[in-house]
Amino acid sequence: MVGFRAVYDACVLVPAPLRDLLLRVAEAALVRACMSDDILDEPERAL
C-alpha cells in the first residue's frame, strides 16, 4: 500500500528521463502520483 502522495509538477514531466523514473516509482506503488489536468496541459503549452 502506498504511504504518501507525490504531486508531479510540469517541470518534472518535461525531461523524459526524469519523467520515466518518477512514473516507474509510482507504478511500483512507492508513491501515489498526483497530477491535475492543468499540470498535464502545461508541458504541451510550453513545447
The residue ranges of the chain whose pLDDT is under 70 are 1
Instruction: Give the angle subtended at the CA of 10 by the CAs of 35 and 7, to the nearest 5°.
Output: 35
pLDDT at 1: 65
CA atoms within 13 A on the CB side of 10: 12
Write down the domain spans for the chain: 5-46
Residues making up the chain, counted from first to last: 47
Q: Rounded to two decimals, what is the model's pTM? A: 0.78
The rounded distance, in Å, linking the Cα atoms of 13 and 1 is: 24
Q: Residue 40: what pLDDT?
A: 92
Query: Residue 3 has what pLDDT?
Result: 78
